[in-house]
């Protein structure tokens, strides 16, 4: 499952499934009793690392863990990038608002496209650039109502939050440059371990209840571990900008989960911005289908 390469439509379906799982974070954390902030990140990362190890053992056997004992440069770099994403997002939330943090994260598709053009030397189609601009505008519209940077603390928090989209963009480039030469799925485990170790001093003393541990286990295994592993797999069959664009669907699905599971009615801006993001994704995919159909006619 984690070693094969999927067709482009199957890879797109995998990415959509990933965003569906990622987007459950908000609604699940709202049902926690005592665990908060750094402790949530610690337990989520710890459970994520355990899940990835068990998943690799079940699907690939002992050989799958050999790379963790002697990680290649690409594997170690990807692990550090995952760890930065898992950790900096929570640190940013302790310094500034959720809206500020999520607004900065909107830069991920643009950064990925720029790095694809600069590092991989791959041309970016006009339709993809348009889709990126539309998606960023849609996401900005969703979070703009709560954005403010009136203090040094907010600016610092947004600066740390910027590490998340930057690390995400670089990580996708690492996926594409490594190709099939290095299996980067185990890097998710390394990133989770780095994050758990970084968060433990700030999370102590641990206060999670037995009820919390069930939710935190679900967060680590199915909201973080599984979708991050599947993202690495899907990236083998998709372009770097496409992976980043599809990942932004998480911001649209999150409020819907909060509505269904916690009774939080989405704002008008959320619905309007979400519609723009979905339109941008459809535009990019329809252009891809059209381009693929045109190629045989040109040869």
% of the chain with per-residue pLDDT over 70:
90
What does the domain layout of the chain look like in residue ranges? 8-290
Cα(248)–Cα(109) distance, integer angstroms: 8
Encode pLDDT of 70-121 as tens digits.
Answer: 888 999 999 999 999 999 988 887 787 777 777 788 888 889 999 998 898 8
Q: Is the pLDDT of residue 2 over 70?
A: no
C-beta separation of 201 from 29 below 8 A: no
Identify the band that residue 48 occupies on the pLDDT scale cut at 50, 70 and 90: very high
Cα(165)–Cα(150) distance, integer angstroms: 22
Encode pLDDT of 25-43 as tens digits.
Answer: 878 888 889 888 889 999 9
Q: How far is CA 89 from CA 25, 52, 85, 134, in A?
A: 13, 21, 6, 24
Nearest to 270 by CA among 251, 296, 284, 243: 251
How many Å separate Cα 221 from the centre of its chain?
14
Mean pLDDT (the chain, rounded): 85
Mean pLDDT, residues 240-258 taken together: 83
Query: For residue 179, how many other CB atoms are within 10 A of its CB?
Result: 10
Contact residues for 57 (Cβ-Cβ < 8 A; gap 6+): 64, 65
Q: Is the pLDDT of residue 263 over 80?
A: no
C-beta separation of 12 from 218 below 8 A: no
Identify the band that residue 255 occupies on the pLDDT scale cut at 50, 70 and 90: confident
Q: How many helices (H) and strands (E) does the chain have?
A: 16, 0
Encode pLDDT of 187-204 as tens digits.
Answer: 999 999 999 999 999 998
pLDDT at 298: 43
End-to-end CA separation in angstroms for the chain: 35
Residue 265 in 3-state DSSP? coil
Q: Which residue has the tokens 């770099």?
A: 77
Encode pLDDT of 50-82 as tens digits.
Answer: 999 999 988 887 777 787 888 889 999 999 999
pLDDT at 283: 82
C-beta separation of 78 from 175 below 8 A: yes
Q: Is the pLDDT of residue 292 over 70?
A: no
Cα(133)–Cα(154) distance, integer angstroms: 25
Cα(235)–Cα(243) distance, integer angstroms: 6
Q: Which of 131-140, 152-161, 195-204 has the highest mean pLDDT?
A: 195-204
């Amino acid at each position: 499952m984690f070693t094969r390469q999927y067709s482009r439509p199957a890879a797109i379906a995998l990415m959509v499934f990933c965003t569906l799982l990622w987007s459950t974070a908000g609604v699940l954390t709202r049902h926690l009793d005592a665990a908060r902030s750094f402790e949530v990140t610690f337990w989520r990362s710890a459970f994520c690392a355990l899940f990835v190890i068990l998943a690799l053992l079940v699907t690939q056997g002992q050989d799958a863990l050999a790379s963790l004992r002697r990680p290649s440069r690409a594997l170690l770099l990807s692990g550090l990038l995952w760890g930065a994403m898992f950790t900096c997002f929570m640190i940013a939330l302790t310094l500034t608002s959720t809206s500020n943090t999520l607004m900065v994260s909107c830069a991920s598709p643009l950064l990925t496209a720029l790095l694809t053009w600069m590092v991989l030397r791959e041309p970016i189609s006009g339709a993809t650039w348009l889709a990126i601009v539309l998606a960023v505008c849609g996401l900005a519209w969703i979070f703009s109502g709560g954005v403010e940077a009136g203090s040094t603390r907010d600016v610092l928090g947004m600066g740390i939050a910027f590490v998340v989209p930057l690390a995400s963009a670089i990580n996708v480039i690492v996926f594409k440059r490594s190709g099939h030469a290095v299996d980067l799925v185990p890097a998710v485990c390394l990133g989770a371990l780095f994050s758990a170790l970084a968060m433990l001093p700030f999370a102590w003393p641990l206060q999670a209840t037995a009820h919390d541990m069930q939710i935190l286990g679900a967060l680590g295994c199915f909201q973080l571990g599984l979708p991050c592993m599947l993202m690495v797999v899907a990236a083998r069959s998709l372009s770097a900008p496409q992976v980043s664009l599809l990942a932004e669907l998480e911001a649209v699905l999150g409020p819907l989960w909060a509505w269904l599971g916690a009774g939080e009615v989405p704002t008008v801006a959320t619905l309007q911005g979400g519609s723009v993001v979905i339109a941008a994704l459809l535009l990019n995919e329809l252009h891809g289908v059209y381009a693929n159909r045109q190629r045989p006619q040109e040869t």
